Structure 1
Amino acid sequence: MEKETTNHYTSSLVEVYYYHQRVAMHQCNPSKGSYNTNKEHLSSTHKYYTDWSP
Structure 2
Amino acid sequence: MEAELQSFKIAELRQDLSIGIEQLNRGQSTTYTQDHLSELFDEIKTQGRSNLGSAK
TM-score (norm 1): 0.25
Structure with higher RCO (Cα < 8 A, 6+ apart): 1
Greater fraction helix? 2
The structure whose Rg is larger is: 2
Greater fraction strand? 1
